[in-house]
């Protein structure tokens, strides 16, 4: 196995980790006004993600950094061809972070509503547009030797929007289960009930995505060539079913664990089908960027592998420690301080 293949796998793992971890933050933000019937409820939702949200985004920075270092041609092309979409994602993440921090410092009614809206919209935009971006990557971009021939509106095609809707549905269920897991009383009950209802939307979006994928992409070519790979989407379907089963049994913890598995396996399903492409072309397959023609030198990848083997376990250990420290439920009295930590 070459270092380019190793880094394709690591690249996929980093994206899967980001979607799994920051997914519940984004989901909680999108459900902020739906579940937060009172200021106390909204404070509890904010506190439930407070110690984790910025640490979770480390995985996005790592995934972006890995793309830049391991596949510089892909990084350059993405920020050229998908510049506007990625800029909107970046603005959404910035606005969300600012809203989360400022909401605890400016508690006046007017400013509070502004930061509440920023938290919700700054969660929805990245969730939707990450899905749109990956949907278009799966579908293939209109590029050839002369460059990119698409526009922002081209990215908002039915398949791209369908993939965006799937991401939003996955994160909504994930966020509802997280709030149910971290809070108690009426808020936890409403969150679990919302997760049960949203699970039906999640399953519907997944079915439509799987039905449209053979017609819009070539993702299933790898699966047809090696049928054993169908185990990956099969496990993803099993995880999605487990989410609904455990949520209906009132087991928020098990349902959340199944949701984590579902997000990772859905991401893996797309990346297994994408291999060895990173940015496939709809116009000219020879112009596609693959892990073989877009990767850094073997020496660079070797050094990166050594660095990853040292520092990624440290990051994982730190995050495990943080989640262990803040593993208890958020008490109602904690909302009175309106602090995140």
Report the range out of 180-184, 194-198, 337-341 with the highest average pLDDT.
194-198
pLDDT, tens only, 165-190: 999 999 999 999 999 999 988 999 99
pLDDT band at 341 (very low <50, low <70, confident <90, very high): very low
Please give the radius of gyration of the chain, using alpha carbons only, rounded to the nearest integer. Answer: 20
Helix (H) or strand (E) holding 18: helix 3-30
- pLDDT-above-70 percentage for the chain: 95
Q: Model's pTM, two decimal places?
A: 0.93
Task: Give the C-alpha distances (Å, rounded to integers) separating 229 from 54, 232, 241.
Answer: 34, 6, 20
Q: What is the DSSP string of 264-304?
A: HHHHHHHHHHHTTEEE-BSS-GGG-EETTTSS--HHHHHHH
- What is the torsion angle, in degrees rounded to the nearest 10, for the CA atoms of residue 311, residue 134, residue 169 and residue 175? 20
Residue 223: which residues within 8 A CB-CB, separation 6 or more? Answer: 229, 230, 233, 272, 273
pLDDT, tens only, 198-232: 999 999 999 999 999 999 999 999 999 999 999 99
| Amino acid 1: pLDDT | 55
CB neighbour burial string for 147-163, b if at least 16 within 10 angstroms, e if fewer: ebebeeeebebebbebb
pLDDT, tens only, 233-278: 999 999 999 999 999 999 999 999 999 999 999 999 999 999 999 9
Helix (H) or strand (E) holding 96: helix 83-103
């Amino acid at each position: 196995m070459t270092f380019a293949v190793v880094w394709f796998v690591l690249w996929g793992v980093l994206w899967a980790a980001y979607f799994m971890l920051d997914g519940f933050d984004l989901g909680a933000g999108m459900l902020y006004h739906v579940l937060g019937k009172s200021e106390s409820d909204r404070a509890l939702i904010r506190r439930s993600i407070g110690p984790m949200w910025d640490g979770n985004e480390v995985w996005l920075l790592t995934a972006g950094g890995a793309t830049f270092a391991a596949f510089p041609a892909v990084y350059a092309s993405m920020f050229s061809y998908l510049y506007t979409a990625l800029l909107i994602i970046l603005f959404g993440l910035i606005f969300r972070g600012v809203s989360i921090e400022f909401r605890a410092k400016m508690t006046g009614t007017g400013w509070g509503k502004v930061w509440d809206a920023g938290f919700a919209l700054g969660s929805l935009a990245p969730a939707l547009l990450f899905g749109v971006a990956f949907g278009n990557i799966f579908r293939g971009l209109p590029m050839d030797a002369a460059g990119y021939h698409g526009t922002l509106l081209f990215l908002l095609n039915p398949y791209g929007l369908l993939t965006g809707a799937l991401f939003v549905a996955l994160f909504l269920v994930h966020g509802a289960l997280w709030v149910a897991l971290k809070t108690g009383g009426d808020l936890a009950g409403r969150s679990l009930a919302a997760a049960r209802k949203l699970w039906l939307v999640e399953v519907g979006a997944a079915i439509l995505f799987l039905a449209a994928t053979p017609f819009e992409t070539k993702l299933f070519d790898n699966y047809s060539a090696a049928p054993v790979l169908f185990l990956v989407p099969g496990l993803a379907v099993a995880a999605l079913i487990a989410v609904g089963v455990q949520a209906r049994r009132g087991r928020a913890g098990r349902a959340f664990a199944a949701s984590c598995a579902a997000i990772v396996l859905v991401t893996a399903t797309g990346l297994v089908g994408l291999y060895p492409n990173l940015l496939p072309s709809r116009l000219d397959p020879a112009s596609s960027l693959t892990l073989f023609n877009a990767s850094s030198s073997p020496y660079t990848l070797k050094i990166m592998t050594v660095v990853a083997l040292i520092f990624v376990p440290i990051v994982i250990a730190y995050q495990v420690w943080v989640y262990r420290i803040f593993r208890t439920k958020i008490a109602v009295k904690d909302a009175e301080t309106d602090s995140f930590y």
